[in-house]
Structure 1
Amino acid sequence: MTPAAPAPPSPAAVTAFLRGFDRRARLFAEVQAGDEASARHALAVVARVFASEAGQWPLAEWPRQYWRLLLAAPSMRKPRAVAIAPRLPGIARLAVDARAAVLLHLVAALDDADAAGALGIDTTTYQARIRDALPLDALGQPDVDVWRAWRAAAERELAQPVEPEAPPASATTPGSPATAHVAASIDADIRHRRRLRWLWVGVALCVLALVATFFLHPRGREVLDHWRAEIKREPLDPAAPPTSRFDAGDLSLHPDRELLSMPAELGVARQLPLLAWLEVAGADPRAADAVRLPVIVAAPDAAATAPAAGDASLARRAQRWDALPAKARAIQRGAWQAWRALEPAERLRLRATATRWGLLASEEQDVLRARFDALPADARHGWWLGPKMGRDWPRVAPLFAFVPEDQRAALLALLRSADAEDIDALERLAQITPPEERDALRLDLLRVPAAERRAWMLTKVQG
């Protein structure tokens, strides 16, 4: 005897399930597909398919199967070809697979196992997609602050009141006229694509048959033999010896030769945030907490900027450098790049500050270093941008802390050229702009000509 087929669920149960997922499904589909029309179309078709197949799964499996069916819709798997949707722009700009993985966790509220099952991958691969979707912080780790911002944005979107659909959710139940019309249009489109595919297959087979007939015919073989007979073959001349060969020991080819040739300069660069803070903190002698550094008359040691002489010493430093762990080399390269990004005048002042710092007793250095380490992490990171920008960084950090790599140079140039009134306006914009709207604000800020930028900012601030 064959086992009895499971009884199909009642239409009321399916309708209640779909209505409970409606808010999350709308947000998920709009962000994943990129436009509202494609999202509505996909939701209508998935509702019909789910209603017809729900009886084969236990009730506990319904959420996972629903999201699996939704992700199988063509519009959910296409790369973005339109502008980023206004909802959740930070997530919407991710690649297709990463975007689906993040939305399954933050919008669909699935755990790792169910989300991996909906995507058809194992849990380890799913967790790797989540990590790869996040930008890296200064230490090269996934930035959890970005994840928190995405979660907060998703919660705000889900808390927004939703306008009722037209037709209503009940129109997606099996047998409804609206669902039948959508399904019929999809079926007709699929049949049309199949007919076109078979038509092209037939054309290709005809072309292949024609070509085969030509070469099997005696006249065709004769033409082919004649064509091959006209090919002239001559041996090539012996290869000339290379003018030079790559030498791994050639220090002029070392990728980090510049910083290795100036060890004193690298030592100053590694202290950049502390030196920038010392210069600003000691600029006003009337302040109660001003930093007291020795006053020197002589100019900073010119050897700090001069390349160290001697190939032998450079070779020893290169050997020690190559033996360091990759992470340690990456940190020092980052310090060197931040140092070289400063204006020459800023570097000159910081070298003088480094000289005065070296004249302090170790106890005084410990006290000042403890004061610097007590600053908030965001403020300490801001001093890597130099004295001027480090002083103003805490005021504008919410707006510029997380930017795409292709915008970084332009935004740094904008901040370096900003005066006090510009910084005041940027601080106010950072306070009144929600996190999910800051990406669009930065793009608008870069598009405005420099001569009109202050008036534009003041207009935005005044509402």
Structure 2
Amino acid sequence: MNNPILLMACLAATLSVPAAATSVPLPLPSEATPVPATRTAIPTTASALDPAQLAELRARYAIWQSLPESERARVRDGARRIAALTPAQQQTLRERFAQQDQRFRDGWLLGPHLGQSFPKLQGLFGYLPAEQREPALAVLRQLSVDQLAQLSLIAQRTPPQEREQVRSQFLALAPGARDAWLKQHVGH
């Protein structure tokens, strides 16, 4: 499977598989359209797509390209596991995924490391100006599973009027100072 769009959909569907990714990930919202519950034929040429479909595919491909190779490998592995399922099992996974909240589905576009944590971190990192998204993603991708879990707690406890300040403080930290900051703020 070399189609990055299909691979991203497969990654998202692996959430419904008990042996899915074990890390706690986090994503930012996208303007992506929902993953359909039923598979439709993918046009083989760009000219067969309407402009909105083409823009969507380009955006998803850019997201795919921005993932670290280790994340893409995990997505490809998930796609292989899903491809090994029966068509009925695959359809069941697609339907279960399509029933999930859009924020949850969008979060998986960030890859397996961040995807699972997206709903919990969305309040703190989901509404960033475009110029702040990539730097924030770079920081978030450096976090361990435990650090993401701590940051998720902080995000959920932070009132809306304090989110920008808390986010700015966290993003300004040197990597070595993050653990102490997270522990201090989780303790509040």
TM-score category (smaller protein): 0.7 to 0.9
Q: Is 2:147 aligned against 1:422? A: yes
Q: TM-score, normalised by structure 2?
A: 0.76
- CA deviations on 1:146-189 (whole Å, 9 max, x unpaired) are xxxxxxxxxxxxxxxxxxxxxxxxxxxxxxxxxxxxxxxxxxxx
- CA deviations on 1:316-357 (whole Å, 9 max, x unpaired) are x6xx41453221111001110111122212222322332332
Counterpart for residue 381 of structure 1: 106
Counterpart for residue 125 of structure 2: 400
Q: Would you say how many aligned residue pairs link Structure 1 and Structure 2?
A: 165
- CA deviations on 1:333-392 (whole Å, 9 max, x unpaired) are 111011112221222232233233233332221111111112222111111111121122
Gapped runs of 5+ residues in structure 2?
21-43
Task: From 167, 170, 179, give the equivalent of 1:442.
Answer: 167
Relative to structure 2, which stretch is displaced further, 450-459 or 324-333?
450-459
Counterpart for residue 134 of structure 2: 409
Cα distance 1:347–1:280, how it changes in 2: closer, same or farther (>3 A)?
Answer: farther
| Residues in 1 aligned to 2:131 and 2:49: alpha-carbon distance in whole angstroms | 30
| Residues in 2 aligned to 1:461 and 1:367: alpha-carbon distance in whole angstroms | 38
Counterpart for residue 330 of structure 1: 55
Q: Is 2:87 aligned against 1:362? A: yes
Cα distance 1:442–1:373, how it changes in 2: closer, same or farther (>3 A)?
Answer: same
| Residues in 1 aligned to 2:129 and 2:137: alpha-carbon distance in whole angstroms | 12
Equivalences for residues 173-322 of structure 1 within 5 A: 265=2, 267-278=3-14, 281-283=17-19, 320-322=45-47
Q: TM-score, normalised by structure 1?
A: 0.33
| Residues in 2 aligned to 1:356 and 1:420: alpha-carbon distance in whole angstroms | 23
Counterpart for residue 432 of structure 1: 157
DSSP 3-state at the match of 1:375: coil
One-letter code aligned to 2:100: L
Counterpart for residue 34 of structure 2: none
Question: What is the RMSD of the two structures over their aligned residues, measured on CA atoms?
Answer: 2.3
Residues 10 and 82 of structure 2 are in contact (CA less than 8 Å); yes or no, is this contact kept in structure 1? no
Give 1:444 shift.
1.5
DSSP 3-state at the match of 1:283: coil
Counterpart for residue 205 of structure 1: none
| Residues in 1 aligned to 2:136 and 2:171: alpha-carbon distance in whole angstroms | 8
DSSP 3-state at the match of 1:360: coil
Cα distance 1:322–1:401, how it changes in 2: closer, same or farther (>3 A)?
Answer: same
DSSP 3-state at the match of 2:117: helix
One-letter code aligned to 2:57: Q
Residues 117 and 152 of structure 2 are in contact (CA less than 8 Å); yes or no, is this contact kept in structure 1? no
Counterpart for residue 461 of structure 1: 186
| Residues in 2 aligned to 1:401 and 1:395: alpha-carbon distance in whole angstroms | 10
One-letter code aligned to 1:272: M
Counterpart for residue 349 of structure 1: 74
Give 1:422 shift.
1.3
Larger Rg: 1
Residues 104 and 119 of structure 2 are in contact (CA less than 8 Å); yes or no, is this contact kept in structure 1? yes
Residues 273 and 386 of structure 1 are in contact (CA less than 8 Å); yes or no, is this contact kept in structure 2? no
| Residues in 2 aligned to 1:394 and 1:431: alpha-carbon distance in whole angstroms | 10
**Higher relative contact order at CA 8 Å, sep ≥6: structure 1 or structure 2?**
2
| Residues in 2 aligned to 1:278 and 1:412: alpha-carbon distance in whole angstroms | 22
Gapped runs of 5+ residues in structure 1?
1-263, 285-316
Query: Identity of counterpart residues, as a percentage?
Result: 32
Cα distance 1:340–1:282, how it changes in 2: closer, same or farther (>3 A)?
Answer: farther
| Residues in 2 aligned to 1:415 and 1:281: alpha-carbon distance in whole angstroms | 25
- CA deviations on 1:105-164 (whole Å, 9 max, x unpaired) are xxxxxxxxxxxxxxxxxxxxxxxxxxxxxxxxxxxxxxxxxxxxxxxxxxxxxxxxxxxx
| Residues in 2 aligned to 1:344 and 1:441: alpha-carbon distance in whole angstroms | 30
Give 1:461 shift.
3.3
Residues 275 and 353 of structure 1 are in contact (CA less than 8 Å); yes or no, is this contact kept in structure 2? yes
| Residues in 2 aligned to 1:327 and 1:445: alpha-carbon distance in whole angstroms | 36
One-letter code aligned to 2:56: I
Equivalences for residues 55-74 of structure 1 within 5 A: none
| Residues in 1 aligned to 2:47 and 2:122: alpha-carbon distance in whole angstroms | 35
DSSP 3-state at the match of 1:402: coil
Cα distance 1:279–1:345, how it changes in 2: closer, same or farther (>3 A)?
Answer: farther
Residues 108 and 115 of structure 2 are in contact (CA less than 8 Å); yes or no, is this contact kept in structure 1? yes
Give 1:279 shift.
6.5
Cα distance 1:375–1:457, how it changes in 2: closer, same or farther (>3 A)?
Answer: same
